[in-house]
Amino acid sequence: MELRIRRNRCAEVALLPRFELNFALVCVKVLLVLLILEAALATTKEFRLQVQVLEQDKENTVSHSCIHDQIIEQRKRPGRKVYSVSAQVYAEPDVFKSRQRRGRVLLDVSERPKRHTDAKQPIRIYLNYDAVGHSSDRDCRNVGDIVKLGEPTGASYSGKPSCNPQGDPPIFGDCWYNCTQDDIAGVDKKHRLRKALEQTADWFRRALSVEPVRGNLRLSGYSACGQDGGVQLPREYVEEGVANADLVLLVTTRPTTGNTLAWAVACERDQWGRAIAGHVNVAPRHLTAEAETLLSATLIHEVTHVLGFDPHAFAHFRDERKKKANSGDRTSYG
C-alpha cells in the first residue's frame, strides 16, 4: 500500500518568507551579543588602564606623616619645659550694653541688654625667619654635614645613632643626620618657604577670629621656644614685645626623616592657655614645586596644632567668658 502526502505549493511559498524572517532575527541577535561583548571587553581594558594610571600616580604622590603626638610625648620627658606662660592684655569685649529708656521707667527696670558687636578680630600672625639656616648643629649648610635631629645621646657625633628610616629597627628621631644637597635651604627654597607660610598666615586671617592683644604681644623668653633645640627669642620680643601680633611663629628649616614635610608646636601661652608663640619647622627637601600644594595643606594642618587643636591642649579650651569648657564640649577656643 502506498501512502502519498500532497504538499500545497501555496503553503511552501508562504513558509519561505517566515523562515527568512526568523533567520534575520537570529542574525541580529548574534550581532547584538557580539557588540555587547566587544563593548564589555573595551570597558574592561579601559578600566585596567585607568587602574594602572592611578597606581602610577599613587607611587608618584608625596604624602605627609604628622609627628606632632611624638613631639608632645618627647617634651613631657623629665627636665623639659613644654611651654611658658606670658600674661597678655586684651581689648575689653563690648558684648552687652544696656540703655535706659528716657522718661518714666516702671519700677526702675531698664530695657533688656542688647548684644553689640564683639571684640573678635582676624588673627594676626607674625612670621620670624631669623633662625632659618643659622643653627650650626641642626641646619644643613653643606653636603656631608652631620647635624642633630631631636636629642641624640652625646654632645658630639660619635657615629651612633645615625638616622635611618629604612633600618631594622628604623630610626626616625634622636639621631645624627647626614646632610644631602636636598637638605640645604638655598635661595629658591627660602623663597618657596616664605610664600607658603605667608599664604598660611593669610588663610588663618580669613578663617579665624580672636580677641586681639592690646598693645604689643610680650613673650617671656624663659627658654628656647620650640622643639629640637628650639629657637631663642629675640631680646626685643621680651623687652618691647611684638606690635600688631596675636601669635608669633618662629620658623626653621631643619631636616626631617621619612615623609614628614613639616612640624609645629606651641611654646608660649597666655594666662588663659591660648597660644601666643610657636615653632614651625619645614624640611628643605620638601620645598619643591612638586610638593607645593601638599605643603600648603600641611602647614595649615601643623599651625592648627600650635593654636591648640589637639588632644593634649583640650584642657586649655575656654568659652567667651574665659571659663574652662566642659569636658564634653571641646569645640570652643578662647
Phi, psi torsion values for 231, nearest 5 degrees: -135, 130
Q: Give me the amino acid identity at 60.
A: N
Q: Is 116 annotated as a binding residue?
A: no
Q: Say if residue 213 is exposed, middle or buried (CB neighbours under 10 Å; 0-12, 13-18, 19+).
A: buried
Rounded CA separation 242/125 (Å): 11
**Enclosing H/E stretch for 190:** helix 187-207
Catalytic residue among 73, 211, 236, 302: 302
Check if the beta carbon of residue 163 is closer than 8 Å to that of residue 149: yes
Phi, psi torsion values for 56, nearest 5 degrees: -65, -40
Nearby residues of 82 by Cβ (< 8 Å), 6 or more positions away: 72, 75, 76
Long-range contacts of 196-201 (CB under 8 A, 24+ apart): 196/282, 196/287, 196/292, 196/295, 196/296, 196/299, 197/127, 197/249, 197/251, 197/280, 197/282, 197/299, 198/127, 199/296, 200/125, 200/296, 200/299, 200/300, 200/303, 201/125, 201/127, 201/249
User: What grid cell was written down for 108?
Assistant: 526702675
Nearest to 333 by CA among 275, 279, 277: 275
Rounded CA separation 164/158 (Å): 15
Check if the beta carbon of residue 154 is closer than 8 Å to that of residue 256: no
Active site residue 92: no
Rounded CA separation 301/76 (Å): 22
Q: Is 286 annotated as a binding residue?
A: no
Residue list, annotated binding site: 301, 305
Question: Where is the binding site for Zn(2+), in residues?
Answer: 301, 305
What amino acid positions are annotated as catalytic residues?
302
